[in-house]
């Protein structure tokens, strides 16, 4: 089996265990929370996205990792992490908290979609070994991030309905 095929299988199957775990444990837990606390929990997870800067570290990634992929992925992850941290710490200032929640989710989900697109356009699957130590990020971490972005968007849209029905 080629490295490209293995990488593509890993990318697809990376979502399966996270969807199972999230469906069984994460989603019921988030839905049981007040909308602000659910969004804050999601922001806490995304606060670690500063780690995406590792795509720029020689020796962690190979020298032939497509530069267009590495740079975009690294800085968009970094921006998402900073926005998520700002959301997390401004929870008591709702006029700031909600815009930061929307911002980190838009930037973060957009980053993942753009990274998938760039990865395909730049021929990343055959060069997946160039991800080096960062190989686990798109396989293990990114699926959870995308799933939680989807959950955050759902909660943003439907949390008003939930609060209204509780009142």
Specify if 39 maps to a domain: yes
Mean pLDDT for all residues in the chain:
94
Specify if 166 maps to a domain.
no
Band (pLDDT 50/70/90 cuts) for residue 163 is low
Dihedrals phi, psi of 18, to nearest 5 degrees: -65, -40
Cβ neighbours of 103 (radius 10 Å):
17
**pTM, to two decimals:** 0.92
* Domain extent for 39: 3-161
Kindly report, residue by residue over 55-112, the tens digit of the pLDDT.
999 999 999 998 889 999 999 999 999 999 999 999 999 999 999 999 999 999 999 9
Q: How far apart are CA 133 and CA 59, in angstroms?
A: 9
- With a cut of 90, say whether residue 118 has pLDDT above it: yes
- What are the percentages of helix, strand and coil residues in the chain, rounded to 5? 85, 0, 15
Is 17 among the domain residues? yes
The pLDDT-based confidence of 13 (bands split at 50, 70, 90) is very high
Q: What is the pLDDT of residue 53?
A: 96
| Residue 167 placed within a domain | no
| Domain contains 123 | yes
For residue 47, being part of any structural domain is answered with yes
Q: Is residue 100 part of a domain?
A: yes
35 lies in some domain: yes
The share of the chain scoring above pLDDT 70, in percent, equals: 95
Asked if residue 22 has pLDDT above 70, the reply is: yes
Say how far apart CA 150 and CA 97 lie, in whole Å.
18
Structural domain total, the chain: 1
Asked whether the predicted pLDDT for residue 166 surpasses 90, the reply is no
């Amino acid at each position: 089996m080629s490295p490209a095929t293995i990488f593509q299988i890993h990318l697809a199957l990376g979502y399966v265990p996270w969807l199972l775990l999230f469906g069984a444990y994460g989603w019921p837990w988030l839905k049981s929370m007040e909308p602000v606390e659910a969004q804050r929990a999601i922001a806490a997870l995304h606060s670690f996205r500063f780690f995406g800067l590792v795509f720029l570290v020689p020796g962690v990634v190979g020298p032939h990792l497509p530069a267009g992929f590495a740079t975009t992925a690294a800085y968009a992850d970094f921006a998402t992490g900073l926005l998520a941290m700002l959301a997390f710490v401004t929870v008591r200032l709702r006029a700031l908290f909600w815009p930061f929640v929307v911002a980190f989710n838009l930037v973060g989900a957009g980053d993942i979609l753009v990274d998938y697109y760039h990865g395909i356009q730049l021929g990343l699957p055959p060069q997946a070994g160039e991800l080096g130590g960062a190989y686990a990020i798109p396989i293990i971490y990114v699926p959870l991030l995308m799933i939680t972005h989807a959950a955050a968007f759902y909660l943003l849209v439907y949390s008003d309905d939930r609060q209204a029905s509780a009142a």
